[in-house]
């Protein structure tokens, strides 16, 4: 399209390298988090359809976001999809965005199995698709914001300072706002003179600790003359990024969510990486995210009352839509059948082919296409999608009724109820507030009908949400009636860190993660993986002990690791290497001798109890050894020879062996006992030698030395 040509052609004022970056790319995260609680917020609808295809004022959610990108002049779009990606792909391929007239030069559909934004970003980095500045937008953003002001500022900043890597677009909103999430409020600490975000934290209003706290680094307070601490911002998750951002994602493989982990982490490590993140606060355009049902409700209202202009129903974003604005925010498509005596109130959207019977009243309701609404029906604040049949005399308030639902005569559907696809409700059934009724199960199979829920002749069962949400019980109860109550909305992903340890254990160093005496698994793992890897590498290359030692120290410093961790790293790497040597055909004693004699110093530097009676460190070393050897081949033999070697190298004293042998940790499990079986004779021999020694008094002492 035009912009790029202009950039390349008429304006080549010498900065040719810059012009390449004129193409604005966008990464578009649809359904970004598979296992996210996010998805479950729209259950049971998301069991059948991806969230971004759910209709918002009768237009699929994704249209608004793509429209926003087209508005911003984006040319390349990369779409990442998670759940139901086949449906989404089919939709996109059939839509105008894939047609030759699409404003996007390229619309790539990237399937991913990743379960978090972090993984998507790392995937993107490895694919090298991004060439210049790009936008990261999640698949549920509704915005009419002209992006160029933010973009200009971002580019100017980046020109001046390569380290200004990201600009977040934030919408100012008052203290209370219907589109803001209520359970967690993001707090931004901003230096208003430079628009720089200094600190970010999410305050959870539903957490156990009643006092919400904000921990601002004293350094920030001391070095900045002016600070804004703002809680009134809607984070619409529109980020303008430089390619460096991806690099940072890749460097920190434990970051999962763009705000809670990434933003927080990068800001915290400012000293380390020197990257700055900036904010662009807008005051006069619309931006919001449909992050939960509450937001679905409020953004629908915003669209109907034209806050999102020009993204309103009468803009007819989809080809084939013929909405037309009448007085009182009434949007009506052509071909609507209204009975003479029905009353259509304000803020209503009615799709084509829908018929409304006599004496029916409709207020603040969105009605899809081809719905049949009977006589004497009351609809208020309801969201009714396509092909729904509502029998005479029914009363529906504040509910979401999905495609193909049939509601019998004289039914009552109370506020907050959600009826999923093709559910049938028999006559005179009362669907109470907050109930979710569905036909399909989580695994995609259809469920047996529960007659007491949908009545005789109905179809569907009560969908109980949140089996996997036990971590947030308070949230579930409120979320279920999301439309009526102020529903807490978790801002962005709350993917747990627990995936991290599992991720690690797949690596070659994972075995140590099982060690029973580690308390803070994640941090240790991190250091352990690094240190073990680097030491093993050195061993293989035969680097001198000094170098290994130096490397270990530096690693220990950066990770602030304890001596135990250092010892574990040494043990793991040494044993791994010994195993490798043995696999090559060396004898156990020979291999052990070779390794330990060469790197005596390294081991020695981790033991600080030479002159004490209580040999804690040495015992720990032996325990680590024992632990590590459980899972290795010929572990018991290796343990014996190692123990001997350590003794001969005077790294471990006899007392330590004794203490180790008597330590209950060394015999706490069957494996532990088994692995130390062979060492028994050695310990026995040591004990005997000691006795001999004591009987023979000082004579033998010089020999022993």
Partner 1 sequence: MPSTSLALTPGLSSFLKSLKSNPIDTSIENLISLLKRRQICHSRASATATAYLLRSVVSLCRTSESSKLIERVQSVGRRLMAAQPREMVVGNIVRRVLGLIRDEAEDDREAEFALSESESQPQTPRAFDDASLPLDRDSLALGSERSTRPPLTSMFSLLSHPEPEASLPSTPGSQSPGGHNNFTKDLRAEVLEGINEIIDELGQVDEQISNYALEHIHSNEIILTHTSSTTVQKFLLRAATKRKFTVIHAESYPNNHEVTHATVSGNRGDDDDLLSFESFQKPLIAHGITVILIPDSAVFALMSRVNKVILGTHSVLANGGLVAAAGTRVIARAAKVHQTPVVVVSGVYKLSPVYPFDFDSLIEYGDASKVLPYEDGDLVEQIDVQNPLYDYVPAELVDLYITNLGGHAPSYLYRIVSDHYRKEDISF
Binding site for partner 1 (CB under 8 A): 1-3, 5-7, 11, 22, 24, 67, 70-73, 96, 99-103, 144, 146-149, 151-152, 155-156, 159, 171-178, 180, 232, 283-286, 302, 305-307, 309-310, 315-317, 322, 324-327, 329, 346-347
290 or 317: whose CB is closer to partner 1?
A: 317
CB of 304 to partner 1, least distance (A): 10
Cβ atoms within 10 Å, residue 235: 26
Between the CA of residue 463 and those of 43, 438, 473, what are the distances in Å? 9, 6, 16
Phi, psi of 149 (to 5 degrees): -60, -45
How far is 481 from 183, CA to CA, in rounded Å? 15
Cβ atoms within 10 Å, residue 65: 27
CB of 6 to partner 1, least distance (A): 4
101 or 210: whose CB is closer to partner 1?
A: 101
149 or 689: whose CB is closer to partner 1?
A: 149
CB of 196 to partner 1, least distance (A): 19
318 or 547: whose CB is closer to partner 1?
A: 318
How far is 315 from 322, CA to CA, in rounded Å? 9
CB of 68 to partner 1, least distance (A): 10
CB of 119 to partner 1, least distance (A): 30
Q: Is 364 left (phi over 0), alpha (psi -120 to 50) or beta?
A: left
CB of 406 to partner 1, least distance (A): 33
Instruction: Produce one character per residue of 402-439: b if its CB has 16 or more CB atoms within 10 Å, e if not.
Output: bbbbbbbbbbbbbbbbbbbbbbbbbbebebebbbbbbb
Alpha helices in 542-678 (DSSP H): 545-559, 563-583, 588-598, 600-604, 616-630, 635-648, 654-662, 670-676
98 or 375: whose CB is closer to partner 1?
A: 98
Record the tokens describing residue 439, joined without a space.
């036909």
In sequence order, which residues have a C-beta less than 8 Å from that of residue 20 and are 6 or more positions away? 131, 132
How far is 290 from 204, CA to CA, in rounded Å? 19
Report the SS3 class of residue 464.
coil
Record the tokens describing residue 121, joined without a space.
């970003």
CB of 524 to partner 1, least distance (A): 45
305 or 341: whose CB is closer to partner 1?
A: 305
321 or 632: whose CB is closer to partner 1?
A: 321
Residue 227 CB-density burial (10 A; 0-12 exposed, 13-18 middle, 19+ buried): middle
HEC string for 430-450: EECCCCEEECECCCCCECCCC
CB of 363 to partner 1, least distance (A): 12
Counting every residue written for the chain, the total comes to: 705
* 8 A C-beta contact, residue 558 and residue 536: no
For the chain, the first-to-last Cα distance in angstroms comes to: 84
CB of 75 to partner 1, least distance (A): 10
CB of 160 to partner 1, least distance (A): 11
100 or 611: whose CB is closer to partner 1?
A: 100
326 or 610: whose CB is closer to partner 1?
A: 326
59 or 624: whose CB is closer to partner 1?
A: 59
100 or 702: whose CB is closer to partner 1?
A: 100
HEC string for 212-236: CCCCCCHHHHHHCCCCEEECCEEEE
DSSP strand pairing (233-241 vs 134-138): antiparallel
284 or 698: whose CB is closer to partner 1?
A: 284
CB of 365 to partner 1, least distance (A): 15
CB of 24 to partner 1, least distance (A): 7
Between the CA of residue 617 and those of 564, 567, 663, 700, what are the distances in Å? 8, 9, 13, 27
How far is 425 from 406, CA to CA, in rounded Å? 6
């Amino acid at each position: 399209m035009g912009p790029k040509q202009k950039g390349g052609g008429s304006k080549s004022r010498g900065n040719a390298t810059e012009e390449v970056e004129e193409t604005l790319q966008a990464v578009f995260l649809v359904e970004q988090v598979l296992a996210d609680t996010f998805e479950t917020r729209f259950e049971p609808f998301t069991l059948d359809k991806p969230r971004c295809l759910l209709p918002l004022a009768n237009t699929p959610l994704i249209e608004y976001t793509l429209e926003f990108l087209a508005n911003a002049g984006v040319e390349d779009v990369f779409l990442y999809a998670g759940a139901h990606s086949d449906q989404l792909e089919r939709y996109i391929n059939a839509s105008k965005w894939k047609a030759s007239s699409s404003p996007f030069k390229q619309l790539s559909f990237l399937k991913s199995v990743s379960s978090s934004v972090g993984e998507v970003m790392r995937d993107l980095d490895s694919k090298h698709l991004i060439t210049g500045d790009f936008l990261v937008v999640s698949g549920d953003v509704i915005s009419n914001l002209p992006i160029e002001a933010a973009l200009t500022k971002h580019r100017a900043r980046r020109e001046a300072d390569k380290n200004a890597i990201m600009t977040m677009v934030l919408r100012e909103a008052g203290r209370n706002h219907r589109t803001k999430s209520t359970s967690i409020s993001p707090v931004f600490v901003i230096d208003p003179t430079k628009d720089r975000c200094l600190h970010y934290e999410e305050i959870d209003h539903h957490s156990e600790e009643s006092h919400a706290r904000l921990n601002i680094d004293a350094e920030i307070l001391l070095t900045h003359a002016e600070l804004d601490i703002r809680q009134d911002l809607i984070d619409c998750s529109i980020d303008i990024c430089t390619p460096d951002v991806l690099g940072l994602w890749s460097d920190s493989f434990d970051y999962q969510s763009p705000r809670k982990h990434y933003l927080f982490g990068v800001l915290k490590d400012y000293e380390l990486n020197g990257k700055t993140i900036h904010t662009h606060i807008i005051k006069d355009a619309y931006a919001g995210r449909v992050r939960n049902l509450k937001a679905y409700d409020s953004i629908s209202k915003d669209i109907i009352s034209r806050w999102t202009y020009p993204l309103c129903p009468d803009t007819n974003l989809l080809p084939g839509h013929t909405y037309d604005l009448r007085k009182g925010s009434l949007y009506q498509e052509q071909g609507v059948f209204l009975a003479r005596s029905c009353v259509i109130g304000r803020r209503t959207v009615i799709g084509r082919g829908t018929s409304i019977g006599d004496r029916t009243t409709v207020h603040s309701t969105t009605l899809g296409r081809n719905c049949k609404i009977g006589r004497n029906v009351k609809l208020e604040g309801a969201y009714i999608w396509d092909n729904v049949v509502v029998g005479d005399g029914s009363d529906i308030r504040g509910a979401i009724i999905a495609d193909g639902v049939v509601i019998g005569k004289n039914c009552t559907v109370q506020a907050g109820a959600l009826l999923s696809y093709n559910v049938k409700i028999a006559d005179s059934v009362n669907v109470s507030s907050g109930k979710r009724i569905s036909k399909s199960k989580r695994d995609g199979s259809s469920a047996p009908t529960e007659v007491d829920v949908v009545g005789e002749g109905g179809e569907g069962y009560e969908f109980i949400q949140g089996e996997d949400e036990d971590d947030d019980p308070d949230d579930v109860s409120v979320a279920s009636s999301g439309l009526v109550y102020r529903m807490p909305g978790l801002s962005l992903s709350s993917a747990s860190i627990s995936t991290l340890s599992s991720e690690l254990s797949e690596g070659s160093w994972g075995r140590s993660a099982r060690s029973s005496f580690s308390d803070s698994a994640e941090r240790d793992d991190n250091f352990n993986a690094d240190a073990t890897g680097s030491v093993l590498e050195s061993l293989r290359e035969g680097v001198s002990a000094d170098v290994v030692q130096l490397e270990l120290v530096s690693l220990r410093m950066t990770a602030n690791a304890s001596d135990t961790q250092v010892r574990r790293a040494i043990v793991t790497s040494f044993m791994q290497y010994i195993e490798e040597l043995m696999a090559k055909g060396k004898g156990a004693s020979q291999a052990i001798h070779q390794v330990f004699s060469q790197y005596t110093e390294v081991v020695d530097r981790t033991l600080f109890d030479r002159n004490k009676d209580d040999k804690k460190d040495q015992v720990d070393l032996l325990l680590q050894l024992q632990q590590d050897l459980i899972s290795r081949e010929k572990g018991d033999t290796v343990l014996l020879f190692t123990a001997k070697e350590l003794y001969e190298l005077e790294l471990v004293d006899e007392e330590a062996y004794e203490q180790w042998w008597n330590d209950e940790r060394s015999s706490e499990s069957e494996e532990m006992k088994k692995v130390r079986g062979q060492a028994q004779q050695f310990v026995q021999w040591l004990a005997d030698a000691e006795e001999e020694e004591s009987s023979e008094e000082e004579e033998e002492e010089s020999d022993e030395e």
